[in-house]
A = this chain, B = another copy of it.
């Protein structure tokens, strides 16, 4: 099929292959959103008199069909098509003739792809939020269940002070809750309707941008048409910043579990069905999913770097460079989502060996508690510290279970504040439900 910009010359084949790059493949994730956006755009064109009501119906019908054919694997984007926008327009033109040729009025592929990605991000970012809430819930249940299991707290990998499995798991729950603060901000920036920017400079038609925004359930129009284009990659980087934070948590969690499930510690045990083996060594059961969670955190950070650096040196307006921000965005969203799911699965199946946790305690772990006992008796802290340091071998063993139960100030092992975390979690769930419900009905209406 012809390119949209066909005007009598043929693009060099090598250049075509090079410029299209991965778009044909990656755009598969955008077919649905591209068609939705086109329906909204068509509805607006009809409202302002560019399309007739019947023409809108024809377009809507065909676009619905494309979505369905795509779901069945029957709608394919070819290299010659360049991208999803062309593939769809070509389909419409060859099936609907002039009606198809009208659809691109007042828009550019640039703002189309921004719209598609905005719709895609809006949806996937909420899925990530939902998976993060689920993970948070799993962590809080785990913390609740194992709140009384003592574990040696470490700093610098060395034995430090008594801790608990509950404290450990709840720490990650609170971390994810803070990530969701950032996610909501990224979502608010995402939830602006870009369409109408055209080539970054608007058009000499009286388009109704607010209508398109309403039809697609956006919170607002992204106002300045040049900013729309300037925000390409930028919003993606905001999203990836948030995803990086979540992946950092999962990476730390994975590092902890990998370490504490080494046979020498044995605090945690992963069931066989989560552990791939070795092709050479018959005894191996490896924490593969957790190692990949750790590595993929680095991948999402690299995705963020890629996007930030692609866009940093650009002048205002659209550039082809933006194309290369698609893969890192998609990879970031899909990876974070699947890693949250897998980590929740791992946590829900992971066993805690309380005996080994307790067996790991040695008297030195209680040295600091001993210092503070002396402080309570009136010895100045720094002196008490030196006394205990000088007679370390005399530090007595304590019962770790009792010890942690007596740490009752805010946020300590004996006072985890899980209710507080559950409240925050409930608020996050409420937010994400509300956010999703702010646009799903609009989209259903639009496609009805």
Contacts and interface: CB of A to CB of B under 8 A. Distances in A.
B315 A256 contact: yes
A157 B319 CA distance: 8
Given A170-B224, A201-B162, A289-B19, A298 B312 contact: yes
A154 interface: yes
Contacts of A185: 181-182, 184-185
- A interface SS class: helix
Contacts of A110: 155, 280
A381 to B, nearest CB: 4
Integer count of this chain's copies in the complex: 4
A165 to B, nearest CB: 11
Best-surrounded residue of A203, A245, A403 (most CB of chain B within 10 A)? A203
B272 A9 contact: yes
Given A12-B273, A19-B289, A282-B392, A201 B101 contact: no
B298 A196 contact: no
Best-surrounded residue of A204, A302, A315, A390 (most CB of chain B within 10 A)? A204
Contacts of A373: 204
A411 B161 CA distance: 43
Contact of A382 (B101, B200, B230, B294): B101
A25 to B, nearest CB: 10
B156 A284 contact: yes
B4 A279 contact: yes
Given A375-B105, A410-B221, A345 B12 contact: yes
A217 interface: no
9 contacts: A7-B277, A93-B382, A175-B230, A196-B411, A205-B409, A223-B421, A234-B248, A248-B308, A304-B304
